[in-house]
Amino acid sequence: MIDLSTTYLGLNLKNPLVASASPLSKKIDKARKLEEAGISAIVMYSLFEEQIIHESLELDHYLSRGTDSFPEALTYLPDGGLYAIRPEKYLNQVAGLKKALTIPVIGSLNGVSKGGWTHYARKIEEAGADALELNMYYLATDPDLSSSDIENTQVELVADIKSAIRIPLAVKISPFVTSVPNFARRLVEAGADGLVLFNRFYQPDFNLEELEVVHSLDLSTSAELRLPLRWVSILFGRINADLALTSGIHTSRDVLKAMMAGAQVAMIASELLWDGSIQRIKEILDHTQTWMEDHEYISIKQMQGSMSQKSVKDPVAFERANYMKVLNSFRELP
């Protein structure tokens, strides 16, 4: 009998397929369907730092003061529709999912700065979340802000949140840092129990007819798996934290690759957001099990990290050798 079970953030999961943060967790009936299809845990959609701040009476006071003389002041913040999810509603949704499901529910906070909003980490725990994912989505645009300034702030934020909760903490990071391994180690030393690789940045486009910036959401493809796959395989065995691979999980082969790289779980969202795609969960798990049977693997734990770089003495030389090999393998088309 093939054992698909794994552990993540101290949670015992029946298989490695976890639903990452997405609109699917906004409705309890959708979450139930995810569980029925075989998903092992759910990461809730994110509660944003800006949503919490927008609700504060203190911010309201400063926004309101002087607006008679400067009526345009209230337009400095984006339209209120972006902040329609009130913090209280989010906490109620956590409690509702915990009551409706038997699988673990992981809360999600999205923020980058230290401040009073971080006490919502404790509130999410009190609402019943089994763990918390901190999503540090941040794009540096200020040339006076150094990389060390940004990393120091984020490390301090992780330490602050970890000190406020008792449940496990995972940190979802960006690949756009100078040294991913060093930053990862610093986050773990600050209290992160797990790392989620990677945050997927949404890229704007230009509308040349309207001369406007277009914000659109493009779902991932399996081709995007390669970036987190590389870094999971590099970090496996080198940092004392669980690893979750996200972005590019669409098939059983993607799941298997994530496990062999060294991930504890493979997080999936885009594949499930297509109409009727929730049933893909069962297909992916069935095909994963069939592949393992055909290749004589008895458990997920047996294959975890089997193709990582843990046994490579010099990963840098290994990477450069493969880089040269790939470039030299290209042949110009006739």
| Dist. CA 24–CA 21, nearest whole Å | 8
CA angle 109, 22, 110 (to 5 degrees): 15
Backbone angles phi, psi at 249, to 5 degrees: -85, 110
**Distance between CA atoms of residues 311 and 115, nearest Å:** 42
The answer to whether residues 200 and 247 touch, using CB atoms and an 8 Å cutoff, is: yes
Tokens of 216: 């659109």
pTM across the whole model: 0.86
Rounded CA gap, 330 and 318, in Å? 19
Give the span between the Cα atoms of 327 and 331, in whole angstroms. Answer: 9
Which domains are delineated in the chain?
A: 6-308 (3.20.20.70)
Residue appearing with tokens 């990290």: 305
**pLDDT over 90 at 172, yes or no:** yes
Give the integer Cα–Cα distance in Å for 100 and 253: 31
Considering the chain, what is the average pLDDT of its residues? 87
Looking at residue 173, its pLDDT comes to 96
Q: Residue 109: is it exposed, middle or buried by C-beta count within 10 angstroms (0-12/13-18/19+)?
A: buried
- Taking only the tens place, the pLDDT of each residue in 190-246 is 999 999 999 988 788 899 999 999 887 788 899 999 999 999 999 999 999 999 999
| 3-class secondary-structure state, position 76 | helix
Q: What is the pLDDT confidence band of residue 321, given thresholds at 50, 70 and 90?
A: low
Residue 325: its H or E element = helix 315-329
Percentage of residues of the chain with pLDDT beyond 90? 69
pLDDT greater than 70 at residue 112: yes
Cis link prior to 198 (omega < 30° from 0)?
yes
